[in-house]
Amino acid sequence: MAERPDRTAGRADRILDAAGVLLSRLGYRKVTIEDIASQAGIGKGTIYLHWPTKETLFHALLLRESLLAAENLLEGLEEDPAEVVPHRFQRAAFLYTQRNPLLGALITGNTELLGRLKKHPLQDQDAVVTERYLKTMTDRGLLRDDIPNLLFSLRASALGFYLMDSFTGDGAGLTIEEKADALAHIIRTAFEPPEPPSTANLVATAAEVIQAFQDLISSYRAWIYRKDGPEEPA
């Protein structure tokens, strides 16, 4: 009898949960497939039913963490379309990431923890959605359109908040929420027009952003949970 998809996905999540625990504890280089199988309470061969190599398994793990982050952000947009405003969107993303060590390591390029996993096989699709997001935000007037190299400038401004603790102790006395508020202030004053958007504009913009990210989430989910396991990245 063929295994039901929901059962297969449940088993995949159990394996990914085990891999996440070990990755956080030991780092990519030290974790073996045998370790993951033992942690998950399954046979090593079962893992290969989902992913052909250790690398693809960990790519699936990091994609799942990104997928969950995206779903969390979209829930916020559905509850309150005003969360689509860049400074609020960036604040929510920062808070979620700071509470997820694996995503934090991915954003900061922590090779000690992630080894060679800095790039994942769906980065081209990430780039397409990012471009779509920026176009939506500038077309609808939620981001200024007079900033040179907007994507670089926006990312560089936000990335500093993720990296500061690795280089200085300046933020040692600040809570995560205070750091998120400071990031939101920078994004608000440097990248957004002074006039607040209308409620109708917020609702329409949120709907477009939700659709763009739902498309990406579908791609992530298909790669992570495909029946025969994802293909090797090119």
Q: Could you read off the pLDDT of 144-169 as tens digits, one per residue? A: 999 999 999 999 999 999 998 888 88
Q: Could you read off the pLDDT of 105-138 as tens digits, one per residue? A: 888 888 888 887 767 778 888 889 999 999 999 9
Q: Could you read off the pLDDT of 175-221 as tens digits, one per residue? A: 999 999 999 999 999 999 999 999 999 999 999 999 999 999 999 99
Rounded CA-CA distance 72/123 in Å is: 20
Q: Which two tokens stand for residue 222?
A: 């298909």
pLDDT score, position 3:
41
Cβ(51)–Cβ(60) under 8 Å? yes
Cβ(24)–Cβ(102) under 8 Å? yes
Q: Which two tokens stand for residue 151?
A: 């994507």
Rounded CA-CA distance 167/161 in Å is: 11
Q: Could you read off the pLDDT of 48-58 as tens digits, one per residue? A: 999 999 999 99
